[in-house]
Structure 1
Amino acid sequence: MARIPNQRWRIASSQPEIVEQISLSTGLLPLVSQVIVNRGIENSDLAHIYIDPETEELPSPLEEFPDLAASIQLLEDAIAFKEKIAICGDYDADGMTSTALLLRTLRHLGADVDYAIPSRMKDGYGINQRIVEEFAENGVGIILTVDNGISAYEPVLLAVELGLIVIITDHHDLPEKLPPADAILNPKLLNITSPYRGLAGVGVAYILAIALAKKLNKVKGLTSQLLELFTLGTIADLAPLVGVNRRWLKRGLRQLPNSELPGIQALMTVAGVNEEQKQLQPDDIGFRLGPRINAIGRIGDPQLVIELLTTDETGIALERAMRCEAVNSERQQLCEKIQKEAIELVETKPIPWKELRVLVVVKENWHHGVIGIVASRLVERYGVPVFIGTYEEEEEKDKNKKNKSNQELKIRGSARGIEEFNIFEALNYCQDILGKYGGHKAAGGFSFPAKNLESLEQKLSEFAHQCLEQQHLKPLVKIDALAHLEEINHNLYDQIDSLQPWGIGNSFPVFWTPNVTVKEQKKIGKNQDHLKLVLQEDNSPKEMKAISWRWGEYCPLPSKIDIAYKLQENHWQGVTNIELEIVGVRLSQENKTIAINHQIKTNNNIKKGRFNYNGRTYACSLWQPLNELRIKNEQGKVLAIKKGNRFGLLGTSRNNARKIDITKPPYFHLIKTAISVLQD
């Protein structure tokens, strides 16, 4: 029997009036205009800024960040007096690119600078007492944190007590009590409407670096290098692609194929990124370059990435990139192994995650560095918040103790959430049985005594029942608009592509098409875990090729389905075609889309009906003496069309109605549905 993914779909409401206004003003297709309306763009002026972010006038970072001027002065003085500066970074892509960015900058400016990155396995996240003491012993005058420090009250206090100056650059959520640093740069301290609000750690480092170089009149030869590191770190950290992020990334993605940095050139080579592209796409970084950097922070030595991104020697860069490639392959194998074991544990134990409304899965001998990736994959599979953990490795001194009891063991883990569930609030709810924890709405990390495992599962389930219903426990597919396969062409793809970068906070457009026939399907890939399809929509001769990643287990799909998809280009033997990347399917909704609640004939002259279309309810009527079809929506607007006319009237009355071309979507398909209801 055919199986399909267990999903829930959320289709955005169509807004034809705003869409029409934006399409007329910008020349965008209505489908594309609907996409950007769904991104919160509500008028033509905002649409033009969205299309070309460089046209927006930005406030100066010096006006936005209260401590930026003080930070520049402290660093300028340290450079002038040859005072030692030490950067404390982090072991993820954001932290490592931030560290490399400031190392390049400060060396370019003549500073005496070194760095340290805590060990994921030994130290955990952020600056700590050991690092502060080592800096002090080595004669450091200024500590500059990147992508961490905002929650490190005790280590910062220690540094101040030891006579060190501390500048914090971070982007994480603010604690109740800020650390006693000499200066703090964090976009979370800015107004929520600030275009700098969404910066990642590397974005804050970028602003500091450019501002400092400008102050010292040494920005020449530095800007493009820093923009490339900003682009790499921002996308790899899944920062929201809005505000200055989107503006600067459009520039950076165009620049990366011609990168000046040997490390980025080498990374693109080993990752198989096509350097002949006019610009890179966020996916090139998110799925190719970023994982090769992140893999080092997860299971390797971050120094490798810092050397890769700061060297000017091509040979060194290529050797470091090849080592990144090898570590990433190891990381992929670890992820596959742990994911397989986790799924087996969930389904054979079994773990009653539907009843608990949260999935807690723990097993020994899983690598701490990669379980967060597995948590994300389990969320994709089950559509439920996931808390995954493994037992802490015993310290060397304890390895020979034969009678070490379970009561002393600790579990360390990672969490990933769904839209309706706040991970950080859930961890807060369980703080009495946790040890260390931290995170934000979508993700977090934690540790706790192993003896508290059952209590933690119960407490998380309590929290989940407060915010989740059963209908939430399915992977969510967010859809922008209904499209028909005949509308999909190079023009549509090119318009979507021109609005790059798409990503977190500005998600790639997803369309859906109902009543599609699966003409062909087969498993592909080394492990037969992907699905290749040929699809055809009802009442259309057009066939389209499609791919479904990691959907091999659902082969064969039912012969008749509704599909949700992204558009992608496929280059083969000099020919470029537009294909579909399937992200959602459901059984054909044909009978549900045209769900007639009642249909009556009041007299010989008027026929009435009601129907649901695209998630909205409409009333329709055919006025036979006038030869006019009327369709009324839930807001009271009426679309009136006379038979044989290309244009109809839309409004709440004839006086305020405006002329509409009914051959354009969504009107054509809406009218077609109404007619089928009235003819039934």
Structure 2
Amino acid sequence: MLHPKYSWKSLQSDEGKAKLLSEQLNISPLVASLLMTRGISDLNEGKRFLYGTLADIHDPFLLHGMKEAVARIKAAVDNGERILIYGDYDADGVSSTALMVHLMRRLGADFDYYIPHRSKEGYGLHIHALEQFHKNGFTLVVTVDTGISAVEQIEYANQVGMDVIVTDHHEPPAVLPNAFSLINPKLPYCTYPFKGLAGVGVAYKLALALLGEDTPLEWTELAALGTIADLMPLTGENRLIVTYGLKSMAHSAFPGMTALLGVAGCTKDEVTSTNVAFGLAPRINASGRMSHATRAVSLLTSTSVEEAESIANELDILNKERQLLVEDIANEALIQLESKEQAGNLPDVIVVAGEGWNVGVVGIVASKILERYYRPTIVLGINPETGDCKGSARSIPGFDIYEALTHCSDLMDHYGGHPAAAGMSLSREQLINFEQRLNEFASGKLEPEHFIPTLLTDLECPLQEITLPVIEQLEELAPFGMGNTCPRLLIRGVKLLECRQMGKEGKHLKLLVSQNGKTVEAVAFGKGELAPILASESVLDLVAEAGINEWNGARKPQLLIQDLCVSHVQVFDYRGSRYPATKLDELREKLVSISACSLGTMAIVSDNGADALMGIDLKQTAHWVYDYSAGVKPMNEIATSEGSAAVKTLFVLGLPESSNMWSKMIGKFGSLERVFLLHPKQREDHEVVQAPSREQFKGVYALLRKHGYQPIQQDELVKAMMGRTGLSRRMLDLTLDVFEELGFIIRTSRIITLNETPSKQPLESSSRYIELGMLAEMEQMLLHGGVPQITKWMLDQMQGAS
């Protein structure tokens, strides 16, 4: 058994409407159904989604403040004023700044740009920077991806005679700055139809307003990069902008973009939203996180191939350094949380802070902690000299972290962001109050269901339907990203044929699964730890994305697994191990590192013999032995204290003397998820029982009658019969047990006497005869059966026990 990481919920589609949409758009019913699950139900919406062009995007002048901004910028260019572009240090801010640089070059403006240092200055406009540029004669400031909450800073600019045009997309605060123009689709009085623009999206709209049809198509590349990196929804006009941007990237006119694709290992045929998100965006972000974001702006605005390649390599190195730094800080943060987790005191909103933590990567660390604990998470870096804390927040659906921070606004020096992610700064002295206030706010917002991550599935289908033509149809819905995820397919009841770890340190899984004769390869990234608890021949349910694996000119379907589960007890076959104690230690070591397992849920079951336990450390693992009356009984303190209900992983080191013991044991361990068979492949006495037959019993009884009615020692009798019947000593002993129960013989102190006047009784009326059959079945199964047969047999037993 393996529990899924997520709660799976299926999106619903109206089959009748989907069929009509399929006919109207001349698309497959499958694609039509997927459009329906994305909220697209009529012909015009479907056309815009599938076949929209840049001509379909909204008029930029619908954005409040755009008309005034355009007039002011044109006046500044005409009058030779110095214009400052003020950006942000993340990939959205860098893309926005780069796009504005290209715009100002196209306008022939006298300009410069400024991005604050992430760790030294922090997010947003800073008066000291505005003061410096004012001294240098700058009279107009155009912000990109920032500025909507810069009330004091813009008031300063007004006082010294600098006009400020704010282009932003972050949540507007209650008090807005008194800027010359505010352009933000989220302003409460802005009637712009699409609210999901990234910061670079708003900057692109400003470029369109200034240049109209003369706006270069390649600028959509910058807009696509920032939109994808900032996790904006790939719906509406974002979808159109990103679609054109990705197409343009494949033959980019920007040396920097080409160089960036090169270091990320993307070929022209591989420019997808996924590759941008995981290849390009992290390297752009690494500039601001590990050094200064101006290097990334230089990359995206460079006209020199040599310079672009040099900077791209530099950012690639920074990204590798960033990955190592994130791992170190994440480990430190997890150590802080371990004690709370073990004590069951993990708060609803996690707040962790550490001295010297690089504030450039705390957002990534927050994402990693959220992924592990599925709770809103804030990670802060503390300046040990000043006590200033700067951090980032990541949240879960249903909990608006920006709203939560607003509730604590009096404790912070600055904050800003979105419902799902935010940044803040505060004093070290406020950390305890900050965490307490956040959790007080969360107590009125978060319910138990919020802490269960949900995975939405688009449709359920068998493995046979996942063909190359179907996958190509699914790709019609690309580009994929937030708000338009790659279709997730629910596939139930596939058999696991092969499972192996792959990649660095075995972090990923490669599976081979089959169903009704169809076999498909599958990859599960980041799930390598599950390999030891996925048994061959197990039946899996999968949620997966379908892709195409191309190798040496061959193309075949491939599944990218998002989540998986096994709904039955799994059996792992290590029978006949030469050194079972060593194998047991090896298995325990592997399992204890898996989040789904723990030492407290593991147990060993054995017979009373000591040989099987030689060399096995039982100090940390519950030990049980077979028992006639209870099935099993505890043999050490752990087994007694934890109880049988806690056992999920069972190591079988020996077999019981009766099938009744086994059945009771199975019923006792009612929470079993996996069973590891480590017992020998044959009994120590080499004597097996076999399924009883009437002919066998008739033959043995006939020999007894020939012997007569004189008493005889059982051992002597059995020895004499072994050669004549071909039955083992153990089988004959058990046969005599049946005869005794039926009254055919009288046994006293192992002296056998044939009953002269036995009553006629059928063999089937003997409980020992029935038990002998069950014992034979058990031993045949556990000693010689295959894993699928053993699994089915055990499942039947569990159903009977329940």
TM-score by shorter chain over 0.5: yes
Residues of 2 paired with 1:301 and 1:495: CA distance?
A: 43
Of 66, 69, 77 in structure 2, the residue corresponding to residue 68 of structure 1 is 66
The aligned counterpart of 1:224 is: 217
- Identify the match of residue 355 of structure 2 among 340, 350, 364: 364
Please give the alpha-carbon distance, in whole angstroms, between the structure 1 residues aligned to 2:254 and 2:495.
48
User: Do structure 1's residue 449 and structure 2's residue 447 form an aligned pair?
Assistant: no
Secondary structure (helix, strand or coil) at the match of 2:217 reads helix
Q: In the alignment, what sits opposite 1:234?
A: 227
Change in Cα spacing, 1:204 to 1:536, as seen in structure 2 (3 Å) is same
Alpha carbons 2:2, 2:565 under 8 Å: kept: no
Residue-by-residue CA offset, 1:237-295 (whole Å, 9 max, x unaligned): 21111221111221121111100010101111111111245xx2111110001110011
User: Residue 156 of structure 1 aligns to a residue in which SS?
Assistant: helix
SS in 1 for 2:203: helix
Deviations 1:505-532 (A, max 9, x none): 2222111111222221111111111111
Secondary structure at 2:355's aligned position in 1?
Answer: coil
Sort the Cα spacing of 1:140 and 1:589 in 2 relative to 1 into closer, same or farther, 3 A: farther
Equivalent-residue separation in structure 1 for 2:189 and 2:160 (angstroms): 34
1:541 corresponds in structure 2 to 517
CA distance in 1, matches of 2:44, 2:208: 30
For 1:566 and 1:371, the matched residues in 2 are separated by 30
Cα separation, 1, equivalents of 2:469 and 2:519: 18
Q: Counterparts of 2:192 and 2:235 in 1: how far apart (Å)? A: 11
Q: Which has the higher contact order (CA 8 A, sep 6+)?
A: 1
Match of 2:303 in 1: 312
Which AA in structure 2 matches 1:578? P
Please report how far the alpha carbon of residue 352 of structure 1 lies from its aligned counterpart in structure 2 after TM superposition: 5.6
Distance 1:386 1:425 in 2: 14
* Alignment-mate amino acid for residue 98 of structure 2: A
> 2:378–2:393: 8 Å Cα contact kept in structure 1?
yes
Counterpart in 2 of 1:582?
Answer: 561
Question: Shift of residue 542 of structure 1?
Answer: 0.7
Distance 2:334 2:563 in 1: 21
Q: Residue by residue, what CA displacement relative to the aligned partner does 1:630-677 show, whole Å, maximum 9, x if unpaired? A: xxxxxxxxxxxxxxxxxxxxxxxxxxxxxxxxxxxxxxxxxxxxxxxx
2:172 aligned partner: 174
Alignment of 1:200-599 (within 5 A): 200-214=198-212, 220=214, 223-277=216-270, 280-348=271-339, 350=341, 356-395=347-386, 409-537=387-515, 540-555=516-531, 556-557=533-534, 559-588=538-567
CA distance in 1, matches of 2:456, 2:369: 18
CA RMSD of superposed structures (Å) = 2.3
Q: In 2 relative to 1, CA 518–364 (structure 1 residues): closer, same or farther, beyond 3 Å? A: farther
- Are 1:410 and 1:448, in contact at CA under 8 Å, matched by a contact in 2? yes
Confirm or deny: 8 A CA contact 1:384 1:474 kept in the other structure: no
Larger Rg computed on CA atoms = 2
1:116 partner letter: Y
CA contact (8 A) 2:401 2:422 kept: yes
Q: Is the 8 A contact 2:6 2:452 kept in 1?
A: yes
Pair 1:344–1:565, CA change in 2 (3 A): farther
Distance 2:564 2:189 in 1: 41
Q: Match for residue 779 of structure 2?
A: none
Letter aligned with residue 291 of structure 1: P
**Equivalence for 1:149:** 147
Q: What amino acid maps onto 1:483 in structure 2?
A: C
Instruction: Note the C-alpha offset of 1:302.
Output: 1.3
Point out where structure 1 has 5 or more consecutive residues left out of the alignment: 396-408, 591-680
- Which of the numbers 155, 158, 161 marks the counterpart of 2:159? 161
Q: Secondary structure at the residue paired with 1:100?
A: helix
Question: What is the SS of the residue equivalent to 2:351?
Answer: strand
Q: Matched residues in 2 for 1:189 and 1:436: separation?
A: 20
Change (3 A) 1:443 1:3: same
Report the Cα distance in structure 2 between the residues aligned to 1:65 and 1:153, rounded to whole angstroms.
21
Deviation (angstroms), 1:192: 8.1
- Residues 299, 463 of structure 1: CA spacing in aligned structure 2 closer, same or farther, 3 A cutoff? same
Are residues 474 and 365 of structure 1, via their aligned partners in 2, closer, same or farther at CA, if it must alter by over 3 Å? farther
Q: Closer, same or farther in 2 for the Cα pair 1:55/1:94, shift >3 Å? A: closer
TM-score, length of structure 2 as denominator length:
0.67
| Matching residue of 1:600 | none
Aligned equivalents of 1:536 and 1:364: distance in 2? 51
What is the letter of the counterpart of residue 487 of structure 2?
P
- Does structure 2 retain, via aligned residues, the 8 Å contact 1:562–1:589? no
SS of residue matched to 1:508:
coil
Letter in 2 for 1:336: E
Secondary structure in 1 aligned to 2:487?
Answer: coil
Amino acid at match of 1:588: S
Deviations 1:50-108 (A, max 9, x none): 1112297444222x023222212211121112111111111011111111111111112
* Amino acid in the other structure paired with 1:247: L
Q: Distance in 1 between matches of 2:126 and 2:285?
A: 21
Deviation at 1:438, TM superposition (A): 2.3
* Paired residue type of 2:534: L
Q: Does 1:15 align with 2:6?
A: no
Report the counterpart of residue 401 of structure 1 in structure 2.
none
Structure 1 contact 417–443 (Cα < 8 Å) conserved: yes
Q: Which amino acid aligns with 2:518?
A: K
Distance in 2 of aligned mates of 1:195 and 1:87: 26
Matched position secondary structure for 1:350: helix
1:42 is the counterpart of 2:18 = no
Other structure's SS at 2:186 match: helix
What runs of 5+ residues in structure 2 fail to find an aligned partner?
570-802
Q: Which residue of 1 aligns with 2:196?
A: 198
Q: How far does the alpha carbon of each residue in 1:23-52 deviate from its partner, in whole angstroms, 9 at most, with x for none?
A: 222233333322221111122332222111
| Alpha-carbon distance, 1:5 to partner | 4.8
Retained in 2: the 8 A contact 1:53–1:246?
no
> Following the alignment from structure 2 to structure 1, what is the Cα–Cα distance between the partners of residues 555 and 324?
33
Q: Distance in 1 between matches of 2:157 and 2:54?
A: 43
Spell out, residue by residue over 1:545-589, the C-alpha distance to the aligned partner (whole angstroms, 9 max, x if none): 111111112223352221111112222111122211111123339
CA distance in 2, matches of 1:42, 1:507: 18
- The 8 Å contact of residues 224 and 245 in structure 2, kept in 1 or not, is answered as yes
Give aligned-pair identity as a percent: 37
- CA separation of 1:84/1:455 partners in 2, compared to 1, >3 Å: closer, same or farther? closer
Distance in 2 of aligned mates of 1:507 and 1:375 = 23
8 Å CA contact retained: 2:522, 2:561: yes
8 A Cα contact 2:359 2:381, kept in partner: yes
SS in 2 for 1:189: coil
Contact map agreement 1:187 1:197 (CA 8 A) in 2: yes
The answer to whether the 8 Å contact 2:541/2:566 transfers is yes
Query: Residues 569, 352 of structure 1: CA spacing in aligned structure 2 closer, same or farther, 3 A cutoff?
Result: farther
C-alpha deviation, 1:308, in angstroms: 0.8
Q: In structure 1, give the amino acid aligned to 2:167.
A: T
Pair 1:243–1:175, CA change in 2 (3 A): same
TM-score (structure 1 length as normaliser): 0.79
**SS of the residue aligned with 1:232?**
helix
- Conservation of the 8 A alpha-carbon contact between 1:569 and 1:578: yes
| C-alpha contact (below 8 Å) 2:497/2:512 kept by paired residues | yes
Could you say if the C-alpha distance between residues 266 and 163 of structure 1 is closer, same or farther in structure 2, counting changes exceeding 3 Å?
same
Task: Check the 8 A contact 1:548/1:582 in 2, yes or no.
Answer: yes
Alpha-carbon spacing, 1:67–1:351, altered in 2? closer, same or farther (3 Å): farther
Structure 1 291/19 Cα, relative in aligned 2: closer, same or farther at 3 Å?
Answer: same
